[in-house]
Structure 1
């Protein structure tokens, strides 16, 4: 499988640290105050709950539409694209969503995180060096994400009104110069992005040396006015491109409408199969295809990925036994699809590139060959339980929020153990936790707990 390498980092589960504007504008304070849960003693970075960011951005969209907030750059945030991305070296995540503006030829994202107890929100703008009148696209979303090796143009960060915080000139994926906005931002009002994107408007500042280490430092540290950096934007651009290619390759033609609808909703979020694969593996390759269909499986197995079904043309096949689980909710089937997407990837990887698989997953491979009676599927479950339950729960929560569910994190964390209750990691959990988790999974799947008592479900009936 082809691996993408950038000039600054080898793509993996590594995300470049992002710094934000030190001071928020007065206009933003009224909305910022609506986000609670600040804890100034928690350290430098703290994750903003996903629902809080969703509500924040929804309120911002509404305020602009009703004229209760200045039009600024015509910002409109795509709520369905909201996702969380790890911040390297910390336990925190940054919340990220796509955005549109009235600026032509500009691709925009909004980023939010808490720093030292203060909510920080910035816009991230990529401006490729192309003729924007010749197919460059309109404001926000008009530019296709590209490999960072090929990107030539400028990257800017601004506040929500488009006032510039920092900027860099990029030539074929390499930071060439930084823009010095210090004199321009000393005036009142500060310089706006729609003025800055005129070529040659600001004074460039050359990196002190040309060696790789210095260039990395120059790219990923704060600029003179505490603006944010650009690494995450490149990763996000590649991730979106590859994830979409993976999602587009899925053959769902033999699924019933109920599962097609759930898959379609997943694809609109960072819980899509493509995003699950890139998050779990760190291998950004679209050399993967997946066939999904309905049919019978083994008893007590809602879905099963079949290694023997693989062909180069159709990829790996997963069968979903919808007929046996008429009470299953949309949340149950969404979790199952997300889970099986990882199985499908791992099995495909082993079939297509066994040496690479053994190198990337040595613990899983050794567990498999030491107990071949359990099969590769069981070894994969152990790897998922070891490495991915928390991340899976976070991704599953994104789907739940997108569907309007207001559920606590414990529910999503419990559901993330679906399919993993036979693993060593699960068996090490306290008995009370195992019982709660098992019941949570069973109720969403069957409408009953493990004692066969009918229980209320959190999700809606999938209609399968």
Structure 2
């Protein structure tokens, strides 16, 4: 997935370290979270496989409505979850390891199953994730691409420091891409 200016997902992972992940991506219906919000994707260890086999399920409802840019953003986000989960297993952590333990381990060294801690780590690399998305979609403005990644990080401390105006811009950009609105920069992913 190499693109403009040599930016690619591999370079994003080089921000961390070298990794070997076998990544299964599938579509299936995912129910809304406990707050009634749509869950775009979930990543976990691939059932019954070694720890370097990870699986991401994209919500069929999301894929059927989203633009290619929104799906790309989600895959980059989930690839980081996959990396953090695999890293935790490689360090002897198991499925009961919390995300806080993963992040503490990785950053102090991160946790395979503590999503909040993974999101806090991702908030620190918004620019790198946006550049990876821009490599695939060069027509995206960097600020727009950055705004797309905040959608999955709304419960982080870093997001809470943003102004209400910035949060509104983030919500609008993400709604445009998630629901293929006229203002979206991407094309509808599935017809």
Please indicate the TM-score interval, normalised by the length of the shorter structure.
Answer: 0.7 to 0.9
Task: Give matches, 1:74-93, under 5 Å.
Answer: 81-83=3-5
**Contact 1:276/1:341 (8 A) holds in 2:** no
Q: Does 1:462 align with 2:185?
A: no
Asked whether the 8 Å contact 2:130–2:149 carries over to 1, the reply is yes
Query: CA separation in 2, counterparts of 1:396 and 1:439?
Result: 18
- Any stretches of 5+ residues in structure 1 without a counterpart? 1-79, 84-95, 97-269, 369-374, 449-454
For 1:337 and 1:412, the matched residues in 2 are separated by 14
Q: Structure 2 CA distance, aligned partners of 1:303 and 1:389?
A: 19
Query: How far apart are the structure 2 equivalents of 1:444 and 1:336?
Result: 11
In the comparison of the two structures, how many residue pairs are matched?
177
Within the alignment, does 1:360 sit opposite 2:96 as a pair? no
2: distance between equivalents of 1:363 and 1:446?
A: 40
TM-score, L = length of structure 1? 0.35
Deviations 1:114-152 (A, max 9, x none): xxxxxxxxxxxxxxxxxxxxxxxxxxxxxxxxxxxxxxx
Deviation of 1:411 (Å): 0.9
* Superposed counterparts of 1:228-377, under 5 Å: 270-272=7-9, 274-279=10-15, 281=16, 283-286=17-20, 288-299=21-32, 300-307=38-45, 309=47, 311-312=49-50, 315-354=53-92, 358-362=104-108, 376-377=114-115
User: How has the CA–CA distance of structure 1 residues 314 and 410 changed in structure 2, closer, same or farther, with 3 Å as cutoff?
Assistant: closer
Q: Is the 8 A contact 2:110 2:118 kept in 1?
A: yes
Q: Please name the residue that 1:156 is paired with.
A: none
Q: Which residue of 2 aligns with 1:397?
A: 134
- 1:325 Cα shift? 4.2
Whether contact under 8 Å (1:327, 1:447) holds in the other structure is yes
Please state which structure has a larger fraction of its residues in strand: 1
Q: Is the 8 A contact 1:276 1:338 kept in 2?
A: no
> For the Cα contact (< 8 Å) 2:45–2:51, is it kept in 1?
no
Unaligned runs of 5+ in 2: 33-37, 94-100
Work out the CA distance in 2 between the residues paired with 1:432 and 1:363: 37
The 10-residue stretch of structure 1 (346-355 or 387-396) with the greater mean CA deviation from structure 2: 346-355
Alpha-carbon distance between aligned partners in 2 of 1:333 and 1:440, rounded to the nearest angstrom: 14
Structure with higher helix content: 2
RMSD over aligned CA atoms reads 2.8
What TM-score, normalized to structure 2?
0.79
Q: Do the aligned partners of residues 432 and 306 (structure 1) sit closer, same or farther apart at CA in structure 2, a change above 3 Å counting?
A: same
Largest Rg, 1 or 2? 1
